[in-house]
Amino acid sequence: MTGRVYEVRTARVLELTSRAALGRATQALPLLSNCLVPRAIVERIRDRFGSICDSTAPDTSFLFRFCAIEERYLHSDRSAGVLYAQRLGNESSFRAGRSELRLEYAPIPGLNLARNCFYDDYERVRREMSSERFPRIDRDAYITDLARGLDSVRDAELRDRFRSSLRQHGWRGRRPAPARWIVSKLLPVVRGRRSDDETKLLAHARRHPRLPVRANSALAPLDPVELPRRSIVHVVSTATGAPWMVAVAREQNRLGYDVSAILPSLDGDIAPRLARDGIRSYAAPTAGLIYGAGVFGRLSAVVRLARLLRRLRPDVIHSHIFASVLTSRIASWLADVPVHLAGNVHPLSLESEVMRALEVGTAFCDTKTIASSSYTRELYIQHGVPADQVGLIFYTVDQSGSDPALVDRTAARRHLGIVDDAPVIGKIAYFYPPPKFPAILPKLLRGRGVKGHDVFLRAMPLVLESVPDAKFVIVGRGWGADGPAYEQTLRDLAITLGIDHAVLFAGETNDVPSMLAAFDVSVHCSLSDNLAGTVESLLMERPMVVSDIRGFADTIIHEETGLLVPVDDPAALASAIVRLLRDRELARRLGQHGRARMLSRFTLARTVADLETLLSRLPERASGHYRLMTTIGRTLAAPFRLLPVAFRAWRALRAARS
Amino acid sequence: MKLAIVIPTRDRAALAIAAVQSLLEERGAWEVFVADNSMSEGEVRRVADFCRETGVAYMRAPEPLPMAAHWDWALREVLDHSGATHVAIHYDRRISRPNEIAALVSIAATFPERLISYTLDHISNRA
């Protein structure tokens, strides 16, 4: 027992079983009572066989069903527990001839032995599967194996009957030699004494977790599996927010990865949130390639980040958000990082021609480029990133707190001063101000906030015409240096529209589920987006009205999980909101379907599992990387690789300006 | 990763209680379910009372079932009514070692799609 984990091929288990050659390796078999079984495997077995286990021995029934449908499993040779009171187990019933078992499939069906039950289950699944995975049982080896178990049958008459039965099937057993006869007489006495000491043995076993355990060499060759403790560094260009990144990092940390983060500053809320889980954060100009001062400042940012990466030597870099993705890509490439994952959180970097030139032009640095919506994935492929390089993994949040059954619907309303029966329409999003360089944006977005707050405000008077007592709640705060000013323009717009009595700017909240629970309708009228807050709203069963942008297509299916309205169309938005306020049955149905869809596909566990699957297919460890010569070579080659990209972006910018 | 540990038992309250107690010494991302297939009302009461006092989930099939059918029923119930990503069956005549379940859960969390089997020690008293 080494505490190691082995990968075992089920074909090998079946082959050894068919030759009756498992021997002591039986302790490494995936019996139902010594396994952790993923739900998906249980469901596959249930789908294939109609039940999880059957027969008198559910353990072995499960074993062969599992071997029938799965190629491999992992075996830990740590001893997790102690089985005692063997006299109460099924095997003892067999030995005493008490079992009611009727074997039907074993090569010798009438032999009521525990070992034969094992072969009975093998043969039963073999016949059900009609598969070459299950070799035919070697009859001679099988009979010899059964004969080995005869001595343990305590009932002499039963033992003789079994012996005779085996002889009829060709077994040439010998009479016991005198020494074996003496042992057979003494053994029950010795065992009886051990039985008396069972309490002591049990206490001893619990105190000494390393009882001698027999080697499972019969399963050789077992390929040892080193448990990975990959180091993952998340790189992000914000020091605040990014709950989806924080959620993934914390979950990976919990799963045993060595996780850290590189942020533009440690002053925001991300660093302390990560620190609570023991995740380290480092400060570096993660967005310096975009926001650095002048050419020197931008290059300097890349070099600083590359030096930090060479110092940390992580196995995986996972960057998020356009500015940090670009900076991190170049820095990782120069530093010779083994794996770089580029996470795209917003399709804007592919919708804007200028940004797209940079996004696609630097994607060669990625091991995998991860789209966070089907729409973004299509854009990447459409614009030339190889399809096999582009993965699709949704950004989600920890769904455990988003359960409408567990959240008090009235708490947020009380906090906001809204009466219980008032229709409430809400929107949760930061106030992202219009970007400083409108020329780089698609025309629709120039001079506009990407989240479409102005569209929502313009829809409010139209809603109030039909539902005069409606209340509108806008949750969020101004983002970045220009955010507060932009928020003020929205407040001014509310006054100009004459709806300031009905709209409430609630500020930022740390309790999104409670706030969502207060909404009768949740709105996301973004001008461009990827999923955004639709996942959280649907988890809370909120009926949604969203703009018909393709970034929402994975979560919002029209008339099934929400209502789609044309982009930048306040009248259509108002009409859909009123429809949901009036048709509460439709609203309830959309919310329920939405939550079911989110739980089936858009959970944090699924996101992390998808990342795990992705990582499992990529190179394991950092060894063989961070080569100085590679860094020098790439630094020399960088102008040739990157100047054409910069030129394409410049040309696109010039075209946009003209 | 959330593990549901199911302990099927039949008329062996003392063993089932010992099995659960050994699990309660360790806390982690798992929940324990006792699936009681007992026919003796005294045993049923004993296990049920213990589960209530310790906050362990207790289930009882509508009628006594054969062993395999009972395991199958218990697993279905747990999977249908809990958010478990993994399930495990523990014999009632098993004592779990401290910290070992956490170690296994850690392995399962690292390989969430793989079945993880492990070794059990046996105290041999086949009298």
Residue from B10, B110, B113, B124 whose CB has the most chain A CBs within 10 Å, to mutate: B110
A228 → closest Cβ in B84, B110, B114? B110
Residue A588 tokens, joined: 């309830």
- By the 8 A CB rule, do A47 and B90 touch? no
Helix (H, G, I), strand (E, B) or coil at A408: coil
Question: pLDDT, tens digit, for every residue of A294-339?
Answer: 889 999 999 999 999 999 999 999 999 999 999 999 999 999 999 9
| ∠ CA B116-B122-B126, rounded to 5° | 140
Question: pLDDT, tens digit, for every residue of A51-85?
Answer: 998 877 889 999 999 999 998 898 888 778 888 76
pLDDT of res. A493: 95
Q: Per DSSP, which regions of A64-217 are E strands? A: 72-83
Helix (H, G, I), strand (E, B) or coil at B89: strand
Global pTM reads 0.58
| Cα separations in angstroms, A411 against A407, A418, A512, A536, A592 | 9, 10, 12, 18, 21
Say how far apart CA A346 and CA A630 lie, in whole Å.
Answer: 32
A82 → closest Cβ in B76, B94, B108? B94
State the first-to-last Cα distance of chain B, in angstroms, to the nearest integer: 41
CA of A382, closest CA in chain B: separation in Å? 32
CA of B26, closest CA in chain A: separation in Å? 12
Average pLDDT rounded to a whole number, residues B34-62: 92
Say how far apart CA A301 and CA A284 lie, in whole Å.
Answer: 8
Check CB contact under 8 Å for A73 and B114. yes
User: Which helix or strand (DSSP H or E) is residue A281 part of?
Assistant: strand A280-283
- By the 8 A CB rule, do B1 and B39 touch? no
Question: pLDDT, tens digit, for every residue of A469-495?
Answer: 999 999 999 988 899 999 999 999 999
The contacts of residue A123 (CB under 8 Å, 6+ apart) are A105, A106, A107, A137
Cβ-Cβ contacts under 8 Å, A42 against chain B: 75, 79, 87
For chains A and B, count residue pairs whose Cβ atoms are closer than 8 Å.
229
Cβ-Cβ contacts under 8 Å, A88 against chain B: 12, 15, 93
Burial class of residue A274, CB neighbours in 10 A (0-12, 13-18, 19+): buried
pLDDT of res. A360: 95
pLDDT at A191 over 90: no
Neighbours of A114 (CB within 10 A): 22
Cβ-Cβ contacts under 8 Å, A94 against chain B: none
The contacts of residue A203 (CB under 8 Å, 6+ apart) are none
CA of B100, closest CA in chain A: separation in Å? 5
Domains along chain A with CATH numbers: 5-214 (no CATH), 231-396+608-657 (3.40.50.2000), 403-602 (3.40.50.2000)
- By the 8 A CB rule, do B2 and B30 touch? yes
Cβ-Cβ contacts under 8 Å, A213 against chain B: 119, 121
Residue A290 tokens, joined: 């975009």
Is B107 within 8 Å of chain A by CB?
yes
Q: How many CA atoms lie within 13 A of A382 on its CB side?
A: 11
Percent above pLDDT 90 for chain A: 48
Say how far apart CA A581 and CA A463 lie, in whole Å.
Answer: 10
pLDDT of res. B77: 93
Cβ-Cβ contacts under 8 Å, B12 against chain A: 88
- Cβ under 8 Å to B: A residues 144-173: 152
Residue A70 tokens, joined: 């799965």
Cβ-Cβ contacts under 8 Å, A8 against chain B: 117
Q: Which CATH superfamily is domain B3-110 in?
A: Spore Coat Polysaccharide Biosynthesis Protein SpsA; Chain A (3.90.550.10)
Check CB contact under 8 Å for B119 and A29. no
Give residue limits of the domains in chain B.
3-110
A209 → closest Cβ in B87, B97, B111? B97
DSSP class of residue A223 equals E
Say how far apart CA A102 and CA A109 lie, in whole Å.
Answer: 8
What confidence category does residue A221 fall into, taking pLDDT thresholds of 50, 70 and 90? very low
| Cα separations in angstroms, A259 against A230, A281, A316, A320 | 8, 9, 10, 15
Question: pLDDT, tens digit, for every residue of B60-97?
Answer: 988 888 888 999 999 999 999 888 999 999 999 888 88
Neighbours of A70 (CB within 10 A): 17
Find, in chain A, the residue whose alpha carbon is nearest to that of B78.
A39
ipTM over 0.90: yes
Residue from A4, A9, A32, A36 whose CB has the most chain B CBs within 10 Å, to mutate: A36
Check CB contact under 8 Å for B115 and A36. yes
- Cβ under 8 Å to B: A residues 205-234: 205-206, 209, 211, 213, 227-228
Report H helices in A362-408.
374-382
pLDDT at B126 over 50: no
